[in-house]
């Protein structure tokens, strides 16, 4: 229909008539786009959106995606930012058309709380890895730790750990690490907004850290240990916020798996609210 209008205007010998056709064409396009938008909005189901999960220690982020997909029979399920198996806290699970927003949500800043253990360095930079070295921990105060933590604030090029999902020639690094293969990694630009310890009782330091996506808190712990000279690893980690979402509003995974489909729909944050 629109093409017909355009052809009529182009074949007209009267410039005035050609100009008069343009508003008609514009109006037709506007109406068509409006109807398309209304149709698009009507197509959303109650399960097109996201649910906030409080992930327990143990399962991988993919495990959570898989169990929700199988439990509720939803074809499209994804997550917005990997949590290591032993990490807990906020995991945003996108459902149905909500998966189209995974990149947008994954790009949001994150806040973590956790514990670093000084004096022990591991292969994975966390408690899951093989112990590589143990050293005596020098006398440290909370003020000294926070002074050191302050050096991490701002932009920095961070070296990702070998035990990570980053791919090298299409192969995840953690798969190479399992074979005892270590490859050269490219440092990545990250930004740490805030990093502060709230308590220290040798050898454990409790901290809170706010950062951009892609920041490996495990690497921060490893580098802290290197700076102090005794080694360190990430003992525990919990994600408390991701963008505008807070773990206080999340539901434990075991509780989600007990929901009926109707209850899950009520828990789902609608697509249009997510995309706003």
- Whether residue 39 is predicted with pLDDT greater than 70 in this model: the reply is no
Q: For the chain, give the percent of residues with pLDDT over 70.
A: 83
Candidates 48, 54, 84, 126; catalytic one: 84
Task: State the pLDDT confidence band at 35, using cuts at 50, 70 and 90.
Answer: low
Q: Per-residue pLDDT tens for 112-146?
A: 999 999 999 998 899 988 999 999 999 999 999 99
By CB neighbour count within 10 A (0-12 exposed, 13-18 middle, 19+ buried), where does 173 fall? buried
Task: State the pLDDT confidence band at 167, using cuts at 50, 70 and 90.
Answer: confident
HSE, CB side, 13 Å, CA atoms: give it for residue 21: 17
| Residue 152: how many other CB atoms lie within 10 Å | 19
pTM above 0.85, yes or no: no
Mean residue pLDDT across the chain: 86
Annotated active-site residue 48? The verdict is: no
Render 45-87 in DSSP notation, one character per residue: -TTSEEEEEEEPSSS-HHHHHHHHHHHHT-S-EEESS---TT-
More confident residue, 22 or 154: 154
Q: Per-residue pLDDT tens for 191-225?
A: 999 999 999 999 999 999 999 999 999 999 999 99
Closest CA to 272 of 53, 44, 38: 44
Distance CA 174, CA 205 (A): 27
Task: Give the model's pLDDT for residue 178.
Answer: 72
Distance CA 116, CA 95 (A): 34
């Amino acid at each position: 229909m629109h093409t017909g209008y355009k052809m009529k205007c182009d074949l007209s010998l009267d410039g005035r008539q050609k100009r008069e056709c343009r508003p008609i064409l514009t109006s037709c396009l506007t109406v068509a786009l409006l109807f398309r938008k209304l149709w698009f909005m009507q197509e959303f189901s109650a399960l097109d959106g996201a649910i906030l999960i409080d992930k327990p220690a143990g399962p991988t982020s993919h495990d959570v995606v898989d169990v929700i997909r199988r439990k509720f029979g939803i074809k499209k399920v994804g997550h917005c930012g990997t949590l290591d198996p032993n990490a807990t806290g906020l995991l945003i699970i996108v459902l149905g058309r909500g998966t189209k927003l995974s990149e947008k949500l994954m790009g949001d800043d994150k806040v973590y709380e956790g514990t670093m253990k000084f004096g022990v360095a591991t292969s994975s930079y966390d408690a899951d890895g093989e112990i590589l070295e143990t050293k005596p921990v020098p006398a440290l105060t909370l003020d000294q730790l926070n002074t050191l933590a302050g050096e991490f604030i701002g932009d920095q090029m961070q070296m990702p750990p070998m035990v990570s999902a980053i791919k090298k020639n299409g192969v995840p690094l953690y798969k190479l690490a399992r074979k005892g293969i270590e490859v050269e990694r490219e440092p990545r630009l990250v930004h740490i907004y805030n990093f502060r310890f709230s308590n220290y009782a040798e050898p454990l330091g409790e901290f809170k850290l706010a950062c951009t996506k892609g920041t490996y808190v495990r690497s921060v712990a490893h580098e802290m240990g290197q700076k102090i000279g005794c080694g360190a690893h990430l003992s525990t980690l919990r994600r408390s916020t991701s963008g505008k979402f807070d773990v206080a509003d999340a539901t434990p995974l075991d509780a989600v798996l007990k929901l009926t489909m109707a209850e899950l729909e009520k828990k789902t944050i609608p697509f249009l609210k997510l995309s706003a």
